Amino acid sequence: MIASRTDHRRGLALTITGVLVLSPDALFLRLLELDPWTIVFWRGLLTAAGLAVGLAVFGEGGLVHAFRAIGAAGVVLAVLWAGNAIFFIVAITHTTVANTLVIIAAAPMIAAALSHLFLREPVEPETWAATVLAFLGIAVVVWDGLGRGRVIGDAAALATACFVAGTLIVLRRARSVNMVPATALGGLFAAVAVAGIASPFAVNAEDALVLGVTGLVVLPIAFGLITLGPRYLPAPEVSLLMLLETVLGPILVWLVLGEGASIATLWGGAIVVVTLGAHALIRLRNAR
């Protein structure tokens, strides 16, 4: 029992710290004056480098052993992370931060649906109800985006949510394996995927500073901790904690840059956040 409580506290500390570190990421992206592909290239490359250094310093068994240990599941996870990284940048540069984070927040519900369709995992009635309500909230946000010319960004955010859902499934099925190396590999995959259309040398000093902070500090720490957290926490609790970014991200952008959200986005976001929060609390109560 003591070990279980210790693991739970460790999972809470890892996940909450990771989410808090990640929350200003959207704000940093708003400060960049670069095309999406150049941002993806440098974020992917720097994140891979930052995580590799962390694994070399703090990992057990050496860097080569860490990457070998992820196996085929780790390679799949890396591909999913790369898709997440690419579509997230497309979303954030073509729609509001609030729209992006609200739509991505539905990833746990998408993961539940995908698990049922492809893995034949049973889904509880409350999860189906939460999925329907979450997609209702997303529909409100996307419908508002259609009238404001944000369809590309909202569609990219939905694609990001699907990639995140895939990563949640892989992390759950390979819980015993440290998948931080797969996250680093995903960053490298993203950089390679866009290298031909990026302009990596068209970066001024200010953009280089922001990219350095996000790529070498924010993303390696946040993704490393968030990847480790689910190894010690039940999925509903992870989903509940991840809602912190959905709330904090748009607030930080609004406070610093004055980028607000439309009434429709606020209503849709409220539906998604309240639904996912209530679902996570119900699942946690049932689990206990």
Residue 93 · residue 87 · CB < 8 Å: no
Residue 160 · residue 88 · CB < 8 Å: yes
Distance CA 226, CA 238 (A): 9
Nearest to 42 by CA among 208, 178, 169: 208
Give the pLDDT of residue 260. Answer: 77
Give the pLDDT of residue 16. Answer: 84
* Digit-coded pLDDT (tens) for 80-113: 999 999 999 999 999 888 889 988 888 888 887 8
Give the pLDDT of residue 220. Answer: 87
What angle (nearest 5°) sits at the alpha carbon of residue 272, between those of residues 81 and 156? 40
Residue 205 · residue 249 · CB < 8 Å: no
Q: Looking only at Cα atoms, what is the longest distance across the chain?
A: 55
Give the pLDDT of residue 2. Answer: 43
Distance CA 174, CA 144 (A): 38
Fill in the amino acid letter for 132: V
Give the pLDDT of residue 249. Answer: 87
Distance CA 276, CA 104 (A): 12
Give the pLDDT of residue 287. Answer: 61
Give the pLDDT of residue 170. Answer: 85
Give the pLDDT of residue 12. Answer: 79
Fill in the amino acid letter for 106: A
For the entire predicted model, the pTM comes to 0.85
Distance CA 167, CA 111 (A): 9
Residue 106 · residue 157 · CB < 8 Å: no
Contacts of 287 (CB under 8 A, 6+ apart): 234, 236
pLDDT under 50: residue ranges of the chain: 1-3
